[in-house]
Amino acid sequence: MASILVVDDEESIRKMLMRLLTSEGHTVHLASDGNEALQLYRAHHPDIVLTDIVMPDKEGIEMIHDLMGEFSDVKVIAMSGGGKYTSSESNLNLAKELGAMRVVQKPIDSQVLFGLIDELMSSSS
């Protein structure tokens, strides 16, 4: 199973994803913004980062950029439901350009998410 860092500013989404992922046997670390996520990634070096794009403080795009600059092997799944001024599609396209290996729109289908995690984990074995 994977060690996954979940980054989302909405506590209810973090908790839902934690329950979902731990029920499948994954280890989960939670961060509420990009700054906290960078600290947790440095401390735990999880297998996968599952991050929202639109967040206060350090957004997902900036966090992905910083992670990719510091850790070339980071595996990122970016998720977005859109923002006040941008669509989820444009957010996710930018995340892919910066190095996110997979993207998914919110609301997330659990089977799609599990498939993405399995793909990323099998690509590292």
Tens digit of each residue's pLDDT (9 = 90 or more) over 62-116? 999 999 999 989 999 999 986 655 677 888 899 999 999 999 999 999 999 999 9
pLDDT of residue 18: 98
Per the CB < 8 A criterion, the answer to whether 100 and 78 are in contact is yes
Tens digit of each residue's pLDDT (9 = 90 or more) over 15-53? 999 999 999 999 999 999 999 999 999 999 999 999 999
Report in angstroms the alpha-carbon separations of 101 from 45, 64, 67.
Answer: 17, 11, 13
pTM given for the model:
0.94
User: Which H, E and C letters describe 2-71, residue by residue?
Assistant: CEEEEECCCHHHHHHHHHHHHHCCCEEEEECCHHHHHHHHHHHCCCEEEEECCCCCCCHHHHHHHHHHHC
Token pair of 79 as six digits: 């998720």
Average of per-residue pLDDT values in the chain: 93
Domain 3-122 coded CATH 3.90.226.10: no
pLDDT of residue 90: 87
| CB atoms inside a 10 Å sphere around CB 97 | 10
pLDDT of residue 68: 94
The letter for the amino acid at 97 is: E
pLDDT of residue 89: 85
